[in-house]
Amino acid sequence: MATKEYSMLLSFREIIDILIMTAAMGYIFKDVFRKEEYHGYDPLEALKHFRYTSGWQDFKFAALVTAPAIIFHELAHKFVALAYGLQATFHASYEFLGLGILLKLFNFPFIFFIPGYVSHSAAASHLHAALIAGAGPFMNLFFWFACRTILKNKPFIRRHKTWHNALFLSARINMFLFIFNMLPIPIFDGAQFYVNMFHAMFG
């Protein structure tokens, strides 16, 4: 059972970190993930023709389609860790967010950074560690398929045409985060998931 120390799901500092990360994501990607009006918009193609704008609408739209994928990914790590009685805290990665802002200011055509992470106490079994590591990517998998399912609902899309681009981009972003994070590379969630699951199954 979790102790009183873990009873608060989100601390005030974590909420501030989430807000700062969301604002940074909106600024960094406001010229890439823009509020386009046509259905065939491809964010990967947009990266090849990096366009700039200071529009408030583009800032809000970029934050809307990028931040939730990261926030729910990290909170999945946190809440699964809390469910196993571990201490877990979300942190905005200020160093990487700063790097992302610098890369944008210098007009780099490709921006890669880690906007946030969750730290948790190390006293976890291999099975628990695997489930904690996999929680983030599998949350992205859930949102990827949820967005795809909604996009296939033609009557819904016809009634809510303005949602199409946001859902399309959210599906792409969550797809990327799931596949990328499940790669068996040491710094990624995938490596922690595979290694700990192997030990949990085979000792």
Per residue in 27-46, pLDDT (tens digit) is: 999 988 877 655 555 555 55
Is residue 171 a contact partner of residue 151, using CB atoms and an 8 Å limit?
A: yes
Instruction: Flag whether pLDDT at 2 surpasses 50.
Output: no
- Give the separation between CA 149 and CA 146, rounded to whole angstroms: 5
Instruction: Flag whether pLDDT at 53 surpasses 70.
Output: no
Among the ranges given (56-60, 62-66, 147-151), the one the predictor scored with the smallest mean pLDDT:
56-60
**Number of domains observed in the structure of the chain:** 1
- Give the separation between CA 7 and CA 145, rounded to whole angstroms: 31
75 three-state secondary structure: helix
Looking at the DSSP bridge assignments, the partners of residue 168 are: none
CB atoms within 10 A of CB 130: 22
Is residue 46 a contact partner of residue 124, using CB atoms and an 8 Å limit?
A: no
- Give the separation between CA 175 and CA 180, rounded to whole angstroms: 8
- Give the separation between CA 87 and CA 109, rounded to whole angstroms: 38
Alpha carbons within 13 angstroms on the beta-carbon side of residue 101 total: 15
CA 159 from chain centre, in angstroms, equals 28
Over the chain, what is the mean pLDDT?
88
Alpha carbons within 13 angstroms on the beta-carbon side of residue 195 total: 12
Q: What is the pTM of this model?
A: 0.84
Domain ranges, residue 112: 4-202
- Please give the radius of gyration of the chain, using alpha carbons only, rounded to the nearest integer: 18
Model confidence pLDDT, tens digit, residues 70-115: 999 999 999 999 999 999 999 999 999 999 999 899 888 777 778 9
Is residue 178 a contact partner of residue 148, using CB atoms and an 8 Å limit?
A: no
Is residue 45 a contact partner of residue 118, using CB atoms and an 8 Å limit?
A: no
- Give the separation between CA 102 and CA 53, rounded to whole angstroms: 17
State the pLDDT at residue 1.
Answer: 39
